[in-house]
């Protein structure tokens, strides 16, 4: 069975290679190659194989060639990192008015926008890396800072971290 399959493949290859290619030059000067004979078509001799021998280069010659035609290496894309400086991860803040200051930093330095995400919601986008918030509810909050380029593409994001805001209870009587 395998032998018959191999014979069929060989016969197919021989029949394909035995086909004639015709060259036709049109009135506008364009050249058309086809396996279908047309008026004015001339058969092309494909029996000889075209080969090219590429000489080997020694190291000195290859260095000279590379110096003459240096390949420009693409600089690796800058990897930015965003760090939340305050509040620290797990820090408890105590403020009855709910005022919270969040400060971040990007490395390496670059102009862009900072976007504050609190509890998975975008709260503010601004040019400064320091955010002043008011009336933040008591409890645990997760924060993340995204660094954006001027087109709005996120270049880097800080790790999510949690801070806790405590307020004095309104039920405690000051008397």
SS3 of 53-73: the string is CCCCCCHHHHHHHHHHCCCCC
* CA 26 – CA 152 distance, rounded (Å): 55
pLDDT in tens, 28-66: 888 888 888 888 888 877 666 566 677 776 655 455 555
pLDDT in tens, 105-146: 998 888 889 999 999 999 999 999 999 999 999 999 999 999
- Whether pTM exceeds 0.95: no
* CA 139 – CA 62 distance, rounded (Å): 68
**What are the sequence ranges of the domains in the chain?**
19-46, 81-166
Return the CATH fold of 81-166: Immunoglobulin-like (2.60.40)
Q: Where are the alpha helices (DSSP H) in 40-152?
A: 59-68
């Amino acid at each position: 069975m395998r032998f018959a399959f191999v014979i069929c493949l060989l016969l197919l290859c021989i029949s394909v290679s035995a086909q004639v290619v015709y060259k036709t030059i049109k009135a506008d000067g364009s050249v058309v190659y086809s396996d279908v004979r047309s008026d004015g078509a001339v058969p092309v001799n494909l029996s000889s194989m075209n080969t090219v021998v590429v000489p080997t280069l020694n190291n000195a010659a290859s260095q000279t060639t590379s110096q003459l035609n240096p390949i420009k290496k693409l600089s690796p894309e800058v990897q930015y990192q965003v760090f939340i400086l305050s509040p620290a991860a797990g820090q408890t803040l105590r403020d009855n008015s709910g005022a919270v200051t969040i400060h971040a930093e990007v490395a390496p330095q670059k102009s862009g926008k900072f976007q504050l995400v609190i509890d998975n919601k975008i709260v503010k986008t601004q040019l400064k890396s320091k955010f002043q918030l008011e009336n933040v509810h008591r409890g645990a909050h997760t924060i993340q800072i995204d660094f954006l380029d001027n087109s709005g593409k996120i270049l880097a994001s800080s790790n999510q971290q949690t801070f806790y805001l405590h307020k004095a209870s309104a039920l405690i009587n000051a008397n």
